[in-house]
Structure 1
Amino acid sequence: MQEKKIRIEKNSVQETLIVPLYGRKMCAEKFPDLYNDMSAKKLCEKLDYDFSEQEAKKDSFAYEFGALEAAMRQLDIMYEINDYLKTHPKAAVVNLGCGLDQTGKTCDNGSCRIINVDFPDVIKIRTQLIPVGEREKNIACDLKDYSWMKEVAGDNGAVFFAAGVFHYFKREDVKNLVLELSRRYPGGRLIFDTVGKKGLELMLSKSLKNMGISDVGGFFSVNNAARQLNWSDKIRVTSKGYMLGYYDMKNPGIKGAHRFLAKIGDSLLKMAIIRMDFSA
């Protein structure tokens, strides 16, 4: 019997999960030497959704670069998670604003605990699509409602990560969340991506316009991590370029123009991966 597909309506909150999912699927197909996670493809096959718009664009230079962007972010974050698990093998690996992302499973070392946190409607779809593993838990909660932290034990360490999430937060909301995590999880680590103000304007112009927001000034952007994220003497902040900070992208199929745009993204748009280590 054919498995019933999960319907995703156009112009719904759930549809926002499709863009990064399809980007990862496409990158795995186009650049397998760089990114070989096929889980996104399997998920797309479980969805009742019209992908014709994405399919029509998938061979365009801009769409290819967008897929590379999604994949590089995931690879960078995975690097930092795996680095933390070397010294904290039984840690909680916590995906903040998880959507349909399976980074936790990809980094599973056989002894860590995997926790996914997102809004209830997102977790509902995730639960239908992605089986929960033996050491895995889904938590349906707004990240700004810290009650979800009661379900995350940090006794054996905790590494938190947020991919493409904090751009939509107000600066104070990010700061408050970071300080709360540092207080509750000494010895823990937080990893997330940021862009500068100009990059944020380019990235969010369409989505914020649809929300009726014209000024991105209050939203979270970072031009200088050391200066702007110096929130506590108990938090050590380091950052690397998002596109080329971890990998040189010298892989088959990746054009020179892609790498040139990647340099612009890291230098001018201030695309970065931020790592915060909390003092024990």
Structure 2
Amino acid sequence: MDKIKIEKNTVQGTLIIPLYGRKMCSEKFPDLYKDNSAKELCERLDYDFSEIEKKSNSFLYEFGALEAAMRQLDIISEIKDYLKKHTKATIVNLGCGLDETGKACDNGLCQIVNVDFPDIIEIRKKIIPNRDSEINISCNLKDYSWMKHVDNSKGVIFFAAGVFHYFKIEEVKSLILELAKRYKGGCLIFDSVGELGVKLLMKTTLKNMGISGIDGLFYLNNPLKEINWSNEIKVSSKPYMLGYYNMRSPNIFFSHRLLANICDNFLKMAINRIDFK
């Protein structure tokens, strides 16, 4: 099969960061995290991974892989918790990229909706087959027309992984309040970092990937206070790295856990849940 070309220093290039991180973590920490599709997807992409591979054994790159995996596991935990009461809910992946979290959570009764820019969805369609109960929507998340495709009759849970960092705070607020108005009983899960964390993301992670010209705008230092925008929503938040799982694995060292604590407590890395009343 032909490989799909991904250019560096493009929005498409941001697909590589979490995907390669999940591949690395699956290889280095298999007792903690396993993602069989990540390696296969990387092999389907025409992208120069050489610079990443040179650094893949460094401590910081290993930790970056752990970060990508922990975010995935945390979000899966929240989705499965929602599905306990809403077994036939719609699962909506906002800014889906090449992520297959919807499939990982599906109990066989859910509908899965993936939303992203048209060029991203085109790549996704070529390398990730949809299930019968799965649809892709080509749309900017800031254009709310995609919402007309989302069924809330049996519950709905939205999630955004590594997406809102690139939004303005007013855009995140507008989106959340619109979801709260349309989807009573629904839920939104997303990750966030504090002001220092988003600055480090821009200066290190994206720079190392050869991606420039992308601004990080949205951050939360105190999610419980800063996104409590309406009486129609209920906000909860947990630390990102150690808030859900103990991060125990034979290949995880004290230094990994120390940095995880720093990320949670000083960089304010968090998984946030908003329930729509």
TM-score tier, shorter chain, comes to over 0.9
Q: Is the 8 A contact 2:188 2:273 kept in 1?
A: yes
Matched residue of 1:45: which SS? Answer: helix
* SS of match in other structure, 1:263: helix
Given the superposition, is the C-alpha separation of residues 253 and 171 from structure 1 closer, same or farther in structure 2, using an over 3 Å criterion? same
Alignment of 1:217-256 (within 5 A): 219-256=217-254
Rounded to whole Å, the distance in 2 between the matches of 1:169 and 1:5 is 31
Q: Distance in 2 between matches of 1:6 and 1:195?
A: 31
How far the C-alpha of 1:13 sits from its partner, in A, is 2.5
**Deviation of residue 237 (structure 1)?**
0.4
Task: Tell whether the 8 Å contact from 2:156 to 2:186 is kept in structure 1 after alignment.
Answer: yes
- Aligned match of 2:131 in 133, 145, 158? 133
Q: 2:68 aligns with which of 49, 70, 73?
A: 70
Superposition map of 1:149-164 within 5 A: 149-164=147-162
1:75-114 → structure 2 map (5 Å cutoff): 75-114=73-112
Residue 6 of structure 2 contacts residue 46 of structure 2 at CA under 8 Å; is this kept in 1?
yes
Q: C-alpha displacement at 1:69, in angstroms? A: 0.3
**Pair 1:19-2:21 in alignment:** no
What do residues 6-34 of structure 1 show as CA deviations (whole Å, max 9, x unaligned)?
12223333222111111100100110111
Q: Is the CA contact (8 Å cut-off) linking 2:188 and 2:275 kept in structure 1?
A: yes
Find 2:213's aligned residue among 211, 214, 239.
211
Q: Offset of 1:230 from its aligned partner?
A: 1.0
Instruction: State the distance in 2 between where 1:24 and 1:226 align.
Output: 29
Name the counterpart of 1:118.
Answer: 116
- Which letter maps to 1:111? L
- TM-score (norm. length: structure 1): 0.95
Percentage identity across paired residues of the two chains: 63
2-structure distance, mates of 1:212, 1:29? 29
Over aligned residue pairs, what C-alpha RMSD do you find? 1.4
TM-superposed CA distance for 1:225, in Å, is 1.3
Partner letter of residue 274 of structure 2? M
Instruction: Work out whether residues 9 and 212 of structure 2, in 8 Å CA contact, stay in contact via their aligned partners in 1.
Output: no
Taking a change above 3 Å as real, the CA distance of residues 212 and 161 of structure 1, as seen in their structure-2 partners, is closer
Letter in 2 for 1:277: D
In the alignment, structure 2 segments of 5+ residues that lack a partner are none
Deviations 1:15-74 (A, max 9, x none): 221111111001001101110111111111111222111111110000000000000000
Distance in 2 separating the partners of 1:153 and 1:53 = 43
Assess, with a 3 A threshold, how the Cα gap between structure 1 residues 212 and 116 changes in structure 2: closer, same or farther: closer
**Is 1:28 the counterpart of 2:26 in the alignment?**
yes
**What is the rounded CA distance, in whole Å, between the counterparts of 1:168 and 1:145 in structure 2?**
15
Query: Are the aligned partners of 2:189 and 2:271 in contact in 1 as well (CA < 8 Å)?
Result: yes
Deviation at 1:151, TM superposition (A): 0.5
Q: Determine the C-alpha separation between the residues in 2 that align with 1:148 and 1:161.
A: 15
Aligned residue for 1:210, secondary structure, equals: coil
- SS of structure 2 residue aligned to 1:144: coil
Letter in 1 for 2:268: K
Q: Compare 90-99 and 14-23 and name the one that shifted more.
A: 14-23
Listed as ranges, the matches of 1:175-186 within 5 Å are 175-186=173-184
What is the SS of the residue equivalent to 1:226? helix
Deviating above 4 A after TM superposition, structure 1's stretches of 4 or more consecutive aligned residues are 206-209
